[in-house]
Amino acid sequence: MTKHLKDRIPPGQFLTEKFPVLHAGDVPNVDLAAWNFKISGLVEKEIILDWNRFLALPQSRILCDIHCVTTWSRLDNVWDGVLFRDLMKLANVSPAAKFVLIHAEEGWTTNLPLEDLLGDHVLFAHSHDGKPLTPQHGWPLRLVVPHLYFWKSAKWVRGIEFLDHDVPGFWEERGYHLYADPWTEQRFRDDPEWYDTGVNSEEYYRTIKARVREEMRRRKNSQPAE
Ligand SMILES: Nc1nc2c(c(=O)[nH]1)N[C@H]1C(S)=C(S)[C@@H](COP(=O)(O)O)O[C@H]1N2
Ligand SMILES: [Mo]
């Protein structure tokens, strides 16, 4: 089934064929020989991978649309890399882990519920549209979480930390939404559920995710028959 173009563009977004560059601070200088990736937190044993070991992991390709909170969307991006869930298999993660804090160069972080990372569409990418990432877009490695606003897709990633509680990341601490669903425009942390359910609770995520599912159902039902 081909989806209508308008059904692929969330509210408040415009389409671009360009690939804008956005981040806090400067593009970091990364030395691949010194680069490593750390799996930490609620794991039996911390794991540290170097670049060659990372590349030796099973490789996957995804095709996705991306939606930036600054209102641009870019369709049909091809990414190559390692699925989050394939990476996670290396570590013995405690069942108590419910959240993940993604760590990038220079202490930049972003937070996500673990279950959002387990799908076959979430990957650590080293290539975009068939070419290695450019430094501005996150070389050597970035996360891609297509179903959330693009700031969750950390560039220059260096590790993942499994947690039993939610810890707001860099932009989230500065007022951006904790979950960031583009279809219900979770841009800023000004949603009523935030005030109703309080800080960092699983209850909060249950509530906002229920709202997202409801919106997706509504959209599906309002689609004209073909
Ligand atoms: N490490 C790091 N990753 C980051 C950011 C950042 O400031 N630092 N900014 C995020 C934001 S706000 C966006 S919109 C996307 C932009 O990715 P792009 O520059 O490849 O378009 O990267 C995200 N990943
Ligand atoms: Mo952004």
> Whose CA is closest to atom 15 on ligand 1?
151
Strands 123-128 and 109-113: unpaired
Predicted TM-score (pTM) above 0.85: yes
Q: Is the dihedral of CA 134, 40, 176, 105 positive or negative?
A: negative
Provide the pLDDT for residue 226.
52
Q: Is 154 helix (H, G, I), strand (E, B) or coil?
A: coil
The DSSP-derived string for 13-65 is: -EE-SS-----SSPPPP--TTT-EEEEEESBSS-EEEEHHHHHTSPPEEEEEE
> Whose CA is closest to atom 1 on ligand 1?
155
Distance 43 CA to ligand 2 centre (A): 30
For a mutational test of ligand 1's pocket, the pick from 23, 75, 144, i.e. the residue with the most ligand atoms closer than 8 A to its C-beta, is 23
Q: What is the distance of C-alpha 57 from the center of its chain?
A: 20
* Per-residue pLDDT tens over the stretch 54-78: 999 999 999 999 999 999 999 999 9
Provide the pLDDT for residue 202.
83
- 225: pLDDT strictly greater than 90: no
Q: What is the distance of C-alpha 17 from the center of its chain?
A: 21
* Per-residue pLDDT tens over the stretch 64-121: 999 999 999 999 999 999 999 999 999 999 999 999 999 999 999 999 999 999 999 9
Any ligand 1 atom below 6 A from CB of 54 = no
| Total length of the chain | 226
| Cis-peptide, bond into residue 192, ω within 30° of zero | no
- Distance, in Å, from the CA atom of 111 to the CA atom of 132, rounded to the nearest integer, reads 25
Any ligand 1 atom below 6 A from CB of 152 = no
> Whose CA is closest to atom 22 on ligand 1?
151
Dihedral-angle region of residue 210 (phi above 0 means left; psi in -120 to 50 means alpha; beta otherwise): alpha
**For the chain, what is the mean pLDDT?**
93
> Whose CA is closest to atom 2 on ligand 1?
155
Any ligand 1 atom below 6 A from CB of 198 = no
Distance 67 CA to ligand 2 centre (A): 9
* Per-residue pLDDT tens over the stretch 121-157: 999 999 999 999 999 999 999 999 999 999 999 999 9
The CATH superfamily holding the domain 35-221 is Oxidoreductase, molybdopterin-binding domain (3.90.420.10)
**List of long-range contacts for 50-53, beta carbons under 8 Å, 24+ apart:** 51/140
- Distance, in Å, from the CA atom of 126 to the CA atom of 67, rounded to the nearest integer, reads 19
Distance 154 CA to ligand 1 centre (A): 6
Distance 174 CA to ligand 1 centre (A): 15
